[in-house]
Amino acid sequence: MEWQEKGYIQKLRNRYYYFSDQEVDEPFLYYTANELYHPSYVSLESALSRYGFIPEGVFQVTSCTTLKTNSFNTPVGRFTYRHLKPSLFFGYQLEEWNDHRYAMAGPEKTLIDYLYLHHEVKETADLEALRWNTVEINNRISMKTLNSYEAHINSPALSRRLTTLKTYLNATT
Which residue would you say has higher pLDDT here, 149 or 11? 149
Interval 144-173: pLDDT, tens:
999 999 999 999 999 999 999 999 998 876
Interval 18-70: pLDDT, tens:
888 888 899 999 999 999 999 999 999 999 999 999 988 788 999 999 999 99
- DSSP label of 48: H
Q: Return mean pLDDT, the chain.
A: 93
For the whole model, what pTM was predicted? 0.93
CATH architecture for residues 23-171? 2-Layer Sandwich (3.30)
**In whole angstroms, what is the distance from residue 161 CA to residue 4 CA?**
49
Per-residue confidence (pLDDT) for residue 173, from 0 to 100 = 65
Can you give the residue ranges of every domain in the chain? Answer: 23-171
